[in-house]
Chain A
Amino acid sequence: MSAAATATDVPLPARKKRFNRNEVLAALIFVLPFVVVYAVLFIYPTLQMIWLSFHKAPLIGPGTFIGFDNYVKLFKDKLFGVAFWNTVYFVLLTVVPATLTALAIAVGVNRLKGWMQSLILACFFIPYILPVSVVFRVWGWMFDSQFGILQPLIALVAGDNVPVFRTLPLFMPTVAFITVWWTIGFNILLFIAGLRNISPEIYEAAALDGTSKWRQFTRITWPLIWPVTVLVLTIQLIAQFKIFDQVYLFGNGGRSDATMGLVQLIYRSAFQKNNGGYGATVAVVLFLIIVVFSVLQFQMLRARGEK
Chain B
Amino acid sequence: MMKSFLKMALLSTALLMPAVAQAQEVVTWWDFLGGGDGVRMKALLEKFNAEHAGKIEIQATTLEWGTPFYTKVQTSAAIGEGPDVMTYHLSRLPLGVSSGALSEITTDELTAAGLSGADFAESNWKAAQVDGKQYAVPFDIHSVVLYYNKDKLAAAGLIGDNGLPTGLDGVDNFKAALQKLKDGGSEYGISIHSAAGDSQWRIFYSLLGQQDGQFLDADGNFLSGDNLDKAVKATSVVADWVKDGLAPAATEYPASIALFTGGKAPLHINGVWEVPTMTDLSAKGELGFEWGAIALPTFFDHPATWADSHAFAIPNRVGNEVSAEKRAAVLQVIAWMNKNSLAWADAGHIPAYSPVRDSEEFKTKQPNATYSILADTAVFDPSSVLAGVASPVYDAAGNYLMPAVNGEIDPQSAMEQMRDDLQGQVE
17 extra interface residue pairs, beta carbon distance < 8 Å, beyond A146-B248, A255-B399, A272-B71: A59-B75, A60-B79, A144-B254, A144-B255, A145-B195, A145-B250, A145-B255, A147-B255, A163-B195, A254-B195, A255-B403, A257-B395, A272-B67, A272-B390, A272-B392, A273-B392, A274-B99
Flag B94-121 by CB within 8 Å of A: 1 or 0 each. 0100111000000000000000000000
The size class of the interface chain B forms with chain A is: 35 or more
Residue of B199, B391, B421 touching A272 (CB-CB under 8 A): B391
B74 within 8 A of A: yes
Flag A42-72 by CB within 8 Å of B: 1 or 0 each. 0000000000000000111100000000000
Flag B367-399 by CB within 8 Å of A: 1 or 0 each. 000000000000000000100001110010011
Indicate if the CB atoms of A254 and B398 lie closer than 8 Å.
Answer: yes
B99 to nearest A CB, angstroms?
A: 5
**Could you say which residues of chain A place their CB within 8 Å of the CB of B78?**
60-61
**Could you say which residues of chain A place their CB within 8 Å of the CB of B402?**
166, 253-255
B252 within 8 A of A: yes
Known: A252-B196, A258-B399. A274 touches B250 (CB 8 A): no
Flag B224-250 by CB within 8 Å of A: 1 or 0 each. 000000000000000000000000111
Q: Whose C-beta in chain A lies nearest to the C-beta of B250?
A: A163
A117 within 8 A of B: no
A177 within 8 A of B: no
Indicate if the CB atoms of A253 and B255 lie closer than 8 Å.
Answer: no
Q: Which 8 A-B pairs have the closest CB atoms?
A: A253-B196, A163-B250, A60-B78, A166-B250, A146-B255, A271-B71, A257-B399, A274-B99
Interface majority SS on A: helix, strand, loop or mixed?
loop
A144→B254 CA distance, assembly (Å): 9
Known: A61-B100, A258-B399. A147 touches B258 (CB 8 A): yes
**Could you say which residues of chain A place their CB within 8 Å of the CB of B254?**
144
Indicate if the CB atoms of B252 and A144 lie closer than 8 Å.
Answer: yes
Most A CB contacts (10 A, CB to CB) among B79, B100, B248, B252 go to B252
A166→B406 CA distance, assembly (Å): 9
A8 within 8 A of B: no
Binding site for A on B (CB under 8 A): 67, 71, 74-75, 78-79, 95, 98-100, 195-199, 248-252, 254-255, 258-259, 385, 390-392, 395, 398-399, 402-403, 406, 408, 421, 425
Q: Whose C-beta in chain B lies nearest to the C-beta of A268?
A: B395
A140→B98 CA distance, assembly (Å): 36
Indicate if the CB atoms of B99 and A256 lie closer than 8 Å.
Answer: no
A167→B79 CA distance, assembly (Å): 42
Q: Whose C-beta in chain B lies nearest to the C-beta of A56?
A: B427
**Could you say which residues of chain B place their CB within 8 Å of the CB of A144?**
252, 254-255
B189 to nearest A CB, angstroms?
A: 15
A60→B250 CA distance, assembly (Å): 37
Known: A59-B75, A146-B259, A147-B258. A256 touches B399 (CB 8 A): yes
**Could you say which residues of chain B place their CB within 8 Å of the CB of A58?**
99
A273→B388 CA distance, assembly (Å): 12
A272→B390 CA distance, assembly (Å): 8
Q: Which of A248-273 contact B (CB under 8 A)?
A: 252-258, 268, 271-273
Flag A262-292 by CB within 8 Å of B: 1 or 0 each. 0000001001111000000000000000000
**Could you say which residues of chain A place their CB within 8 Å of the CB of B74?**
59-60, 274
A283 to nearest B CB, angstroms?
A: 16
Indicate if the CB atoms of B99 and A163 lie closer than 8 Å.
Answer: no
**Could you say which residues of chain A place their CB within 8 Å of the CB of B197?**
253-254
A258→B406 CA distance, assembly (Å): 16
A271→B98 CA distance, assembly (Å): 14
Indicate if the CB atoms of A271 and B198 lie closer than 8 Å.
Answer: no
Indicate if the CB atoms of A166 and B399 lie closer than 8 Å.
Answer: no
A47 to nearest B CB, angstroms?
A: 20
Q: Whose C-beta in chain B lies nearest to the C-beta of A257?
A: B399
Indicate if the CB atoms of A145 and B398 lie closer than 8 Å.
Answer: no
Q: Whose C-beta in chain A lies nearest to the C-beta of B255?
A: A146
Q: Whose C-beta in chain B lies nearest to the C-beta of A270?
A: B71
Residue of A167, A253, A272 touching B398 (CB-CB under 8 A): A253
Q: Which of A138-156 contact B (CB under 8 A)?
A: 140, 144-147
B131 to nearest A CB, angstroms?
A: 18
Q: Whose C-beta in chain A lies nearest to the C-beta of B402?
A: A254
A297 to nearest B CB, angstroms?
A: 33
Q: Whose C-beta in chain A lies nearest to the C-beta of B395?
A: A256
Indicate if the CB atoms of B195 and A166 lie closer than 8 Å.
Answer: yes
Indicate if the CB atoms of A145 and B392 lie closer than 8 Å.
Answer: no
B24 to nearest A CB, angstroms?
A: 32
A255→B397 CA distance, assembly (Å): 8
A165→B392 CA distance, assembly (Å): 21
A59→B79 CA distance, assembly (Å): 12
**Could you say which residues of chain A place their CB within 8 Å of the CB of B425?**
273
A66 to nearest B CB, angstroms?
A: 13
**Could you say which residues of chain B place their CB within 8 Å of the CB of A165?**
195
Q: Which of A153-193 contact B (CB under 8 A)?
A: 163, 165-168
